[in-house]
Structure 1
Amino acid sequence: MDMLKKIFELPVGQRVEIQINKTSVPLRFQTEFVGIVKKRFFIVAMPDTRKFGDMRDAIYEGVAVVVRFVLEGDLGEVIAFRSDVEFITSHPTKLMYIDMPQIVESRPIRSDRRFETRLPTQITKMAGADSDYSALVVNLSMSGCQLVVQDEALDVEKDSHIDLRFQWLQQDITITGIVRDIRVVHRDDESPQTMMGIQFARSRNNEDIKQLFAASLIDIDSADY
């Protein structure tokens, strides 16, 4: 299959990641895919100024970008390409027009490879817990994830069942898993944090796990693309 055709499989409204390399430290932000114009432009919404206001000066016509998104399939795959911002519109809404690429790359999401992310979640069910806890997913694979719970020293037994609730773009999903590893880290002059390794229950969660990749936009090393 022609790799360029994969871009046309992306549904409108899905989250994509834009990386700008014109600074000493690459800037990344997540936004929504809007559409394609006559096979010439890949259109996304401009970043939310409330979250990414400090990036606006780095976004201008002609700047080089890397675009990444996740396509669902049997295993799911990460699609990435390099291009340039052709122009930016302000009315009736703020949009970024990116030149359609000549080369598109794809990588399958393998169950044994973990990707860095920062995806907020809520622990809604866990043995020994009498309340919900806010947590952050710091890496993610099809088979599991690592959670960090800040300012808490949780006493949780290994092999306990856990429910994780994720909310984004008006979606609400719960993924079940098993706590396979847990440790509490105490650092000097800082509150404790609990780190947990979670194994997903794949047979029940497979489709929802793929949605997590689409929501979190896994962090692929920019040198690979």
Structure 2
Amino acid sequence: MADLAVSPLPIEEEESNNFFELLPGKVLDFQVNHPVQVRLRLPLIGYETGKYIMLKYPSTSDNFNDVLIEGNVAIIRYLLEGDKGCCFAFKATIRNITQSPEKLIYLNYPKKIENRQLRAHQRITTHLPAAISLNAPDQSNIELNGIIVDLSLKGCGFTFKASSGIVSVKQREIFVCVTHYATGEMRIPARVCNSRNEKGRVNVGIQFNEGDQQVATLLEQLFIDTSIL
């Protein structure tokens, strides 16, 4: 399956803080607008709170010497799914570019980090075995088995393990397949909205089709109060 890039997300202030907490290896969206706009996906190497954030220099054949320079301002974005379901973003000045032992980008630690909720509806954390299958007559037997990690009337987060670090799920129509002792097997029509692979764990954001009563039935059988969703 083809890899799915994260869509551009604007900085919109709803609430802010100056707390940055990510594990090394998390891929961040890095954008510089001067003298030309460049947008990259760079892994986080490390950081020291209040001092700096360290990113890996891009390992492509392109020459970024005119934009990745000390003093230039970068916009950094990253997603946190799960309970948060937020896009975080901040501006930071490039502090230094090191050449040895690895080529790295040092950013000044941000004074303010903005975040924006990605979901209009609250999701409840679950650990529900499920599968997703392709919504196509000739491919109904193709399934990915995994876990529904959060759930609401409008959508869910689905996670499965992949053997490759490049496996992703395309944006397309699917079925979410759930078997419950009280309701039997459900095939809930839905659509993949986004997908990302973090070291072999693929997290898929799924939107249910409007008005499908199976979702409300499933939430009722799981003793989830739909009035809060």
TM-score between the two structures when normalised by the length of structure 2: 0.51
Alignment partners' CA distance in 2, 1:17 and 1:97: 15
1:97 corresponds to: 106
CA RMSD of aligned residues (A): 4.1
SS of structure 2 residue aligned to 1:58: coil
Matched, 1:27 2:38: yes
Alignment length (residue pairs): 151
Give the greater-gyration-radius structure (CA): 2
CA distance in 2, matches of 1:130, 1:103: 48
> Structure 1's 98 and 161: CA in aligned 2 closer, same or farther, altered over 3 A?
closer
Query: Residue 171 of structure 2 contacts residue 194 of structure 2 at CA under 8 Å; is this kept in 1?
Result: no
1:129-166 alpha-carbon deviations (Å, 9 max, x no partner): 3498xxxxxxxxx84899379xxxxxxxxx75778995
Greater helix percent: which structure?
Answer: 1
Amino acid at match of 2:51: R
CA distance in 2, matches of 1:174, 1:2: 26
Which residue number corresponds to residue 12 of structure 2? none
Query: Identity of aligned pairs, percent?
Result: 22
Separation in structure 2 between the aligned mates of residue 73 and residue 162 of structure 1, nearest angstrom? 18
Q: Which runs of 5+ in 2 are unaligned?
A: 1-14, 122-131, 143-153, 157-168, 174-187, 220-229
Give me the whole-angstrom Cα distance separating, in 1, the residues matched to 2:170 and 2:64.
29
For structure 1, list consecutive stretches of 5 or more residues without a partner in the other structure.
Answer: 113-122, 133-141, 150-158, 182-200, 205-225
Match of residue 75 from structure 1: 84
TM-score by length of 1: 0.52
Corresponding residue SS for 2:18: helix
Tell me if 1:39 matches 2:50.
yes
